[in-house]
Structure 1
């Protein structure tokens, strides 16, 4: 992946002045929510973006120190899926703000990836960290104005310190082409969505999948020896921030992440042991329908004796049709414990 050079920018949370000749990025407020396809202002992480070349940009973002869904890990670092969501928002924002992709077009994910190369740079501190994505835009199979194919490649930096990279490949189409692609599953824009027919299934306990709230667990299982399944909860305020006629990319990625956590912590995280997600690459093969069960299957589980990490390959399948494949890397780490000050 192309990795542009680090360009110093203003990083004060107050949006302080940039150095002479350097681009200025503001962290004063979030970008308009409709420009990143979010309904809730609280779920918008981008604050600014400036063009640095014909197809290169600096994108400013601020991650919350805590989040209802994307809470910090036991190692004290930010949730890695915050990075993927930020890449998604950056691609959508740049498409609308800098490449005139119509706001009415439907965005379809074809593939996503990220890797955290320096987890310590993402340790949660005493104030929200101002982040910068050094981004490169690539057209892929682009046929405007009815079909736009795009890929955004980014390097994640904190205070000029590179700590990760990622990419997202998306196609944006008009309503007519979207309906042709969706077939029977297409619904009018903004129409109410429904999930699978009610089944007597219990969510996996949130702590077993690395989540804090019961409603954030997305794994269920019908039989002890059967496959894990993705629970599609269309009333979830973050996973379904706005109506969708198919399973969103971030919901599928969360299912893969939670299954990985469950596999690597079968009895819970014991003292001094933990596994954290460092990298994830997903290929999206088909739309996931809201009204049919989605099985999550383990294809490969390969431990790395040298690092203590584990490589997982997981599949999402619906009605015998492959929906997505995910390759992820998990590292074994010691849980972070904040120092307790001594008192007299």
Structure 2
């Protein structure tokens, strides 16, 4: 049965401070309403194109848009409906998503309007936490699920936590300086279009990768921060997953291509800005058949400290069907090879 959320609009983004963004262009949430004591409907609009989160070769919306929308929905609900004051620190514990119908997220000439049917849960403890479980709806149909959990704390508690991570002394933040013009991995190998969007550098002869941190990147570092944001780590995981899957799979896919459809990320420690971060493939399991997902486990480490670990599933997705012409027949190119 179709699921709907009447009354929500996609006319303009919500105030950017409610989703902890500096740039209005990076705000995807457009509206929200309470549907129960702890349930909410959140409207979001995904762009047809994006400087970083652009559609893939199959015209599928980037799954990182789903992850970022889950993150923004948690912040928006917390501030707008759950009396969480602005300025509260949200420290990520874990984030996961499962896209059950990738074809529903294809870009077809207009921005993609989505609805998150969300449930907020308080998690008691010291510090207090919150959890948001969501169902992703497109055109009223369910096509994915996701979860995010965070700790909430004021500046004082956050400062104590960070000093504990630093051993009592606050290290000087690295000064943003020039970044090498290109990493060692070409954009196409990691599913990106621009050199500046690549976050992988090959720095170890044993097969490990290093996360490239460009603090001048307008999307990944939207605002100043004292640590590496979760979405930067997730982008590193996604790019390494794309590289491993598309270069290690041996089965001929024809016109199909792999897309990230599932990810579970667990955070263990703050990722600091002033030390290298390694990305290590801990497990790589190709599907037994062309229709079975390719599964990966990747860890992010700083020295011997585990920062985060993810389990990903990549599935082969069929190409987009050609647009129908008059009478329902597929549209054909002219004899010259150019569309009329």
TM-score by length of 2: 0.87
Counterpart-to-counterpart distance in 2, 1:187 and 1:275: 45
Q: Which blocks of at least 5 consecutive residues in structure 2 are unaligned?
A: 324-330, 336-340
Write the deviation string for residues 107-134 of structure 1: whole angstroms up to 9, x where unpaired.
1100000010011111111221221100
> How many residues matched?
322
Q: 1:329 aligns with which of 313, 324, 338?
A: 313
Q: Offset at 1:36?
A: 0.3
* 2:103 aligned residue: 120
Please show how residues 1-344 of structure 1 align to structure 2 within 5 Å: 7-10=3-6, 24-141=7-124, 147-183=127-163, 194=175, 202-266=183-247, 272-306=255-289, 307-336=291-320, 338=322, 341-343=332-334
Contact kept in structure 2, 1:283 and 1:326, CA below 8 Å: yes
The verdict on how the C-alpha distance between 1:8 and 1:198 changes in structure 2, with shifts beyond 3 A counting, is: closer
Counterpart-to-counterpart distance in 2, 1:66 and 1:9: 25
Contact kept in structure 1, 2:183 and 2:199, CA below 8 Å: no
Q: Offset at 1:266?
A: 2.3
Counterpart-to-counterpart distance in 2, 1:244 and 1:197: 18
Counterpart-to-counterpart distance in 2, 1:226 and 1:279: 24
* 1:21 aligned residue: none
Q: Offset at 1:342?
A: 2.9
Counterpart-to-counterpart distance in 1, 2:180 and 2:12: 43
Write the deviation string for residues 131-187 of structure 1: whole angstroms up to 9, x where unpaired.
1100000111256xxx44100000000111000000100112111111111116599
Q: Offset at 1:308?
A: 3.6
Instruction: Name the Cα RMSD after superposition.
Output: 2.7
The verdict on how the C-alpha distance between 1:134 and 1:142 changes in structure 2, with shifts beyond 3 A counting, is: farther
Counterpart-to-counterpart distance in 1, 2:155 and 2:2: 39
* 1:17 aligned residue: none
Q: Offset at 1:77?
A: 1.1
Counterpart-to-counterpart distance in 1, 2:270 and 2:320: 39
The verdict on how the C-alpha distance between 1:66 and 1:108 changes in structure 2, with shifts beyond 3 A counting, is: same
Q: Which blocks of at least 5 consecutive residues in structure 1 are unaligned?
A: 11-23
* 2:326 aligned residue: none
* 1:19 aligned residue: none
Q: Offset at 1:334?
A: 4.0
TM-score by length of 1: 0.86
The verdict on how the C-alpha distance between 1:199 and 1:123 changes in structure 2, with shifts beyond 3 A counting, is: closer
Contact kept in structure 2, 1:110 and 1:170, CA below 8 Å: yes
Counterpart-to-counterpart distance in 2, 1:282 and 1:89: 17
The verdict on how the C-alpha distance between 1:31 and 1:304 changes in structure 2, with shifts beyond 3 A counting, is: same
Q: Offset at 1:196?
A: 9.2
Counterpart-to-counterpart distance in 1, 2:228 and 2:199: 12
Contact kept in structure 2, 1:203 and 1:217, CA below 8 Å: no
